[in-house]
Each structure stands twice: as C-alpha cells, then as structure tokens.
Amino acid sequence: MPQTSVVSFFKYKGFNNKWQALGRMGRPPLLKSTIEGLSFWKALGSGSGNGFSIWPDFSTFGLLTVFNSEHDAKAFLASHIMDEYTKDSENFSHLLMHTVKAHGEWSNQSPFESSATFDQSKPLAVITRATIKPKLAYKFWKYVPSVSKSMDGHKGLIYSKGIGEWPILMQATFSLWQKGEDMMAYAYKNQKHADMVKKTRELGWYSEELFSRFHPFEIQGDLIDFKM
C-alpha cells in the first residue's frame, strides 16, 4: 500500500480546552508511544485568518502525520492517542492523502514519497513550508498579508490555514482545492502570488523550504465542509 499522509485540524472552544491544546502542541502525545508505520510527524499551531499571519489562532491546532500505508494511518486515527486530541474539540477533520509531488526538505528530511499521478479534475491539497532567515523576517512579513488575502473567495478554494511549528520563523500553509485546475489557476494567474514567488527568488529569504501536492482520498470529521 502507498505511503499515506494525514493532515488533521482541531478546533477548540473555551479557555481550558484551548490551554490544554496548546500544552499538547508543546508535549505531543505521540512522544509517549511507538506508533506502527509512522515515518514523520509535526505538531502545528495556526495563524489567524486563512493563511500566513503573525497573529496566532489559539482555537485551531493541526497535526501532520505520515505513514507507510493507509492501514497504519487509519489505525492511528482510531487510537487512544487521537482521542486525546478530539475528545475536547468542538469539531475536527482528518484528510488522508497520497502524494502527487514534493520537493524540498522539512527539518532536513524529505518526508513525502510520490505515489499518485496528478489529475487536474480531482481535489488537490497543497502544503508549502519554510524556515525564514531571521534577518529577512521583517521583509517577509511585510509582503505576506496581501498574498494571503488574495486567496479569499478564489474559485475552487475549499479550506486554507496558516500553520507552523514556531511563530514568525517556521511557517507553512495548507490549502484544499475542489479541483487541481483551480489551484493551478491561482498559482499561475494570480498576480499577488506571482509577485511573492518573484520576491522569494530575488531575496532568498528561506533557509529551508518544501512544496508538496497531494490528492486527498478520504476526509473524516466535520470541521472542513467537503465531501469526497
């Protein structure tokens, strides 16, 4: 069975639940167990709004897990470890995905193995991730808000969220599109996005970066309103 990646989002309501969720990010339950087939994982906070933001969103947290097979991924989602994340959540969603394409590194690793062929008519998920050079952080955050806002209401966008391991310097975005062709139209025809790509090449403000595309094949939960 092909490698299966899972992006999970959890939304919490109330101070105590949010505080416990923040604590889980700092002390993830995954550290306490040996998990069959798990090859890579990251506990993730989120930014406010739908994209990169310097301001945190303490109501929404994420978890990225990568497994050797679909069987291992589903076994983990049904485990007591996942119960720790979901039992106090207002709602949540798990997106199970196969990698279409990935290039770059995350924490000096290449976690995603391509196993799916790109089909522009199928739903597509995208994760972009970067470690920002501290001396260039100010310039980076100067340009980000306009790019993030340019996604609002874009044709075919189902869900997007800024995520990251560490505020300011270790950031990522996740986006889910109804069709691959919708994402391609945004990436290559949106001027704000094109300007951001150009600035990235000119300034070289990342010390590490990764770009990855996936075809999701199953969504569990009700945080993300989309039926496969």
Q: Are 32 and 91 in contact (CB under 8 A)?
A: no
Beta-strand relationship, 38-46 and 91-104 = unpaired
For residue 1, give both structure tokens. 């069975």
Assigned token pair, 11: 């939304």
Residue 164 phi, psi dihedral angles, 5° rounding: 180, 160
pLDDT at 52: 63
Nearest of 21, 18, 41, 16 to residue 31 by alpha carbon = 41
pLDDT (0 to 100) of residue 186: 84
Mean pLDDT per 10-residue run, the chain (228 residues)?
95 97 92 92 86 80 97 97 96 98 95 96 94 73 63 83 80 92 82 62 74 97 90
Predicted pLDDT at 103: 94
